[in-house]
Chains A and B, each alone.
Chain A
């Protein structure tokens, strides 16, 4: 009698836990998703986990990865092979970006990223993307970094290099 009651209660707990987990899963934010953006088309956004496998590619599949945020952050950590492209919120940074891409064909696969701040607060990626778009580059992706490069790249164990 006591055993059956215990089994029934245990079953109830399991059911409740499963139901609770299902509800918790519904209320928690979904796994990182690419958001709609005012100035960068969704199709041009890329998640960190999508960039990682491209870093090892060769030829046309390998993107030119440009960090368009603070140089100090670039020096602290950046994806292997990424170059510093100049801060997108400064005219001097945009000039450095123009200089870097001036000899490239307009179909060159370029990935821009910053990660200095939460996505909506980032002052760099939008002007940098607009700059390349205005120059006629049409194969440009922007890395969607929800919070910052530390949390959304380094802390996830994705590969990094250091140095200027």
Chain B
């Protein structure tokens, strides 16, 4: 009988050990450095702003109500920012007919390199110049890239800071877009 209990206890011990080994390191798992998903628990309204685009059109965020907006803070000196821009241009072509609007906000100090980058990367969406006020409006833009996905009601549904898997952003964006 004692021997029988021992036989039962050994697998239980292993079971408990496995739980401890599997659960605790998972609790301590950390996201990969550099990327940070700060998706709000409850969607909040995207702060409205108005800026002139590089081609001198007035861009007001609230005018995009009803569309899904990918709002991307970037800069020409930011390698991960520049790396994702061709993908954004591709998405604007592909998903534009379904209601996607991409809006770039450059945090460069000067407009000249932004204009060069706009031509170099063949951007097909408006880019405006940002500043500290716009950065503060969005909770402090002190690391780039920073991307917000805003639904048709003007609420921030997803937020990413740092180099982020573009496939993840695309999945989130598609989930917000109406089905074709």
**Partner-B contacts on A (CB < 8 A):** 8-9, 12-13, 15-17, 19-21, 23-25, 27-29, 70-73, 75-77, 87, 89, 115-118, 121, 123-124, 146-151, 154, 162
Contact = CB atoms under 8 A, between A and B. Distances in A.
Given A9-B16, A13-B16, A20-B21, 18 more contacts: A16-B20, A16-B21, A16-B24, A24-B24, A24-B27, A24-B28, A72-B131, A73-B135, A75-B132, A76-B135, A115-B142, A116-B78, A117-B144, A118-B162, A146-B33, A149-B142, A150-B140, A154-B142
A25 B77 contact: no
A75 B17 CA distance: 52
Contacts of B143: 115-117, 147-151
A119 to B, nearest CB: 10
B140 A154 contact: yes
Sorted nearest first, the 7 A-B pairs with minimum C-beta distance are A16-B20, A150-B142, A148-B143, A20-B24, A24-B28, A75-B132, A24-B25
Interface in B130-152: 130-132, 135-136, 140-144
A87 B109 CA distance: 9
Contacts of B69: none
Given A23-B25, A27-B25, A116-B78, A76 B17 contact: no
Contact of A73 (B28, B33, B34, B107): B107
A28 B24 CA distance: 12
A117 B30 CA distance: 20
Q: How large is the interface on B (under 10, 10 to 19, 20 to 34, 35 or more residues)?
A: 35 or more
A9 B24 CA distance: 17
B12 A117 contact: no
26 contacts: A8-B9, A12-B16, A12-B17, A13-B16, A16-B16, A20-B20, A21-B24, A24-B24, A70-B108, A71-B109, A72-B107, A72-B130, A73-B142, A76-B132, A76-B135, A76-B142, A77-B140, A87-B77, A115-B142, A116-B144, A117-B144, A147-B33, A148-B143, A150-B140, A150-B161, A162-B136
B79 A121 contact: yes
Contact of A20 (B23, B77, B79): B23
A86 to B, nearest CB: 10
Nearest to A115: B142
Given A29-B33, A117-B78, A76 B24 contact: no
B80 interface: yes
Interface in B1-59: 9, 12-13, 16-17, 19-21, 23-25, 27-28, 30, 33-34, 36
